[in-house]
């Protein structure tokens, strides 16, 4: 087994969240866009993306529009990243962390088990 340690310093909670969700996107072949990752990180930190003032803040910060956010929310709900809970749109709690704290990820990439085709065959 090969072990490799990577270290990346970030300035803000938002940058840490964006890095985390970028890694999840790549590892799980989600092919999330930069804007989708930004919305996920922003929503995870804010708690939800339901209220107009929170959406406006995102739009101002990331130079986006409300219709664009709605399209992204719809896509992220379909893949299970966003959920609706008590009338609020939020990031699935399974992938929400406290981004105020440092984060260490342990990622194990394994080869899928291979099947020996000759096993079980009559010779």
**At CA 14, angle to CA 10 and CA 20, rounded to 5?**
75
Share of the chain above pLDDT 70, in %: 92
16 and 105 in contact (C-beta within 8 Å)? no
User: Which pTM value belongs to this model?
Assistant: 0.86
Residue 75 — φ and ψ, nearest 5°? Answer: -65, -45
Write out pLDDT tens, residues 63-79: 999 999 999 999 999 99
Cα–Cα distance measured from residue 109 to residue 121, given in angstroms and rounded to the nearest whole number: 31
Q: Which residues contact 31 (CB under 8 A, 6 or more apart)?
A: 25
Question: In the predicted model, is pLDDT for residue 98 greater than 60?
Answer: yes
Cα–Cα distance measured from residue 47 to residue 27, given in angstroms and rounded to the nearest whole number: 24
Q: Which helix (H) or strand (E) holds 36?
A: helix 34-46
User: What pLDDT was estimated at residue 117?
Assistant: 58
Cα–Cα distance measured from residue 117 to residue 51, given in angstroms and rounded to the nearest whole number: 56
């Amino acid at each position: 087994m090969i072990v490799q340690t990577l270290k990346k310093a970030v300035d803000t909670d938002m940058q840490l969240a964006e890095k985390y969700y970028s890694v999840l996107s790549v590892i799980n072949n989600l092919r999330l866009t930069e804007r989708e990752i930004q919305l996920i990180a922003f929503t995870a930190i804010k708690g939800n993306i339901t209220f107009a003032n929170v959406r406006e803040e995102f739009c101002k910060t990331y130079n986006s529009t409300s219709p664009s956010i709605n399209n992204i929310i719809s896509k992220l709900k379909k893949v299970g990243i966003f959920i609706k809970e008590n009338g609020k749109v939020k990031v699935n709690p399974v992938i929400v962390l406290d981004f105020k704290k440092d984060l260490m990820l342990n990622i194990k990439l394994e080869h899928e088990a291979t099947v020996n085709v000759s096993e079980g065959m009559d010779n």
